[in-house]
Structure 1
Amino acid sequence: MPGRWKTALVLVLLFVFSSWFLNHLSKHERIQPAALAHDPDYYMEDFTTLTMNQDGTPKNKLFADYMAHYQDDDTTELLEPTLEIYRNDKPPVIVTADKGWVTTDNEVILLTGDVYLRENDNAGLLKLEVITSDARILLKQDYAETDKPITINGKRSTVKSVGMRAYLQEERIELLSNVRGKIEPKKQI
């Protein structure tokens, strides 16, 4: 009998120690995979969203070929985004880029790659085009800015600068430094 008790006691002690050891390991190795990974929790292709003003008129419309939302930092990445910013009694300003990133509160869009800001006249012809590599759009303020080199093409002019602030509702652009311009004379008939 004493041999059986010794074997049973050893098995019980082995079970208790194994249980304690596994419990101890699992407490120290509990890692949330989602907490470490920056993987999308959802995505959409051919994404479109429309934001309205208080009076029910469109404020802006955002399109993208691909949109991915990331839960870990509540941000959204966009591929080939196009943003239309609507203005009272004027054609919209259209902003396109290679890539975009939208902040948690959906108030800021960071655009990267080839960024174009275009404004047409009432006849639908290109009035103004701004070309840069990176830009930041503040949606509530209808404001765009960059600290990168820009080129502004108008109907008869080209202006180059480093840095810009664009107040889109006011149709006002501030050029920040190294401004150079070329204006073509109006052709005589």
Structure 2
Amino acid sequence: MRDRFPTIASVVILAGLVIGTWFAAEHTQRAVTLDAPAKQTHEPDSWGKVMLMLRTDENGVPISRIEGDYMEHFPDDDSYDIRYPRAMSIKPGQPTLVGTSKLATVLDDGNRIIMKQDALVMRLASDTTEPLNVSSNEITLLINEDVAYTDLPATAVRNRSTLKGVGMRYDNKTGELKVFDSTDVEIAPRARQAQPPATEKKP
């Protein structure tokens, strides 16, 4: 019995320590108010003036260019806000697209550019395409897909023809312009071909 007494005493002491620790932990959790995790707000962490952002493909060939007067970066969604931006899609072999507005938000590593306030997207003239302008209060550019679209009222102008509607999508690869809800169309008449002057027959 004397040989077992130290072992029994050790077990009792150990059990007492475990129970005491458990009660102390419970008391501490109830007594101390844990702060809620800090919410990540949409606040800029860096900014700059007269910014220029250039994206290239896997071969190092430039495919887009964004410049503006002032830039702010937001770490919560890794986005950029740019004042008075000028965005360009400059992919080789395709018409150049130029987008301007008062404000732009750049997302997805520069692939998605949301042009806001007086947004204008221009397809510049080339050897195979005529100039095309699409204007709206907001237009989104998808650089990788080479697409511009809006769900808001928009106006498309090509030469003297005008197309108005709600919701437009322009694919720069195919040159196709889709209007989801057309409201007004003005197509300029083709110029009449000049007729050769009549010749008078002599008797």
Match of 1:100 among 100, 104, 109: 104
Relative distance call for 1:106 and 1:60 in structure 2 (3 A) is closer
Structure 2 residues not aligned, in runs of 5+: 1-27, 195-203
Counterpart mapping for 1:17-96 below 5 A: 28=35, 35-96=39-100
When normalised by structure 1's length, the TM-score is 0.74
Counterpart mapping for 1:113-128 below 5 A: 113-122=117-126, 127-128=131-132
How many residue pairs end up in the alignment? 163
Structure exhibiting the larger radius of gyration computed from Cα positions = 2
When normalised by structure 2's length, the TM-score is 0.70
Which stretch has the larger CA shift, 163-172 or 87-96?
A: 87-96
**Cα displacement string for residues 80-123 of structure 1 (whole angstroms, at most 9, x for unaligned residues):** 11111113345511011111112254332222111101122138
Q: Distance in 1 between matches of 2:40 and 2:160?
A: 53
Report SS of the residue matched to 1:40: coil
Report SS of the residue matched to 2:77: coil
- The residue identity in structure 1 corresponding to 2:184 is R
Q: Distance in 2 between matches of 1:154 and 1:116?
A: 13
- The residue identity in structure 2 corresponding to 1:163 is G
Q: In the alignment, is residue 173 of structure 1 matched against residue 177 of structure 2?
A: yes
Q: In proportion to residue count, which structure has more strand?
A: 1
Aligned CA RMSD, in angstroms, stands at 2.7
**Cα displacement string for residues 60-99 of structure 1 (whole angstroms, at most 9, x for unaligned residues):** 1011111100123322111111111113345511011111
**Cα displacement string for residues 22-55 of structure 1 (whole angstroms, at most 9, x for unaligned residues):** xx57x64x875xx454321111111111111233
Q: Distance in 1 between matches of 2:144 and 2:95?
A: 18
Task: Indicate the residue corresponding to 1:6 in structure 2.
Answer: none
- The residue identity in structure 2 corresponding to 1:103 is L
Aligned residues of 2:45 and 2:73 also touching (Cα < 8 A): yes
Counterpart mapping for 1:2-17 below 5 A: none
Q: Distance in 2 between matches of 1:104 and 1:87?
A: 18
Relative distance call for 1:78 and 1:181 in structure 2 (3 A) is same
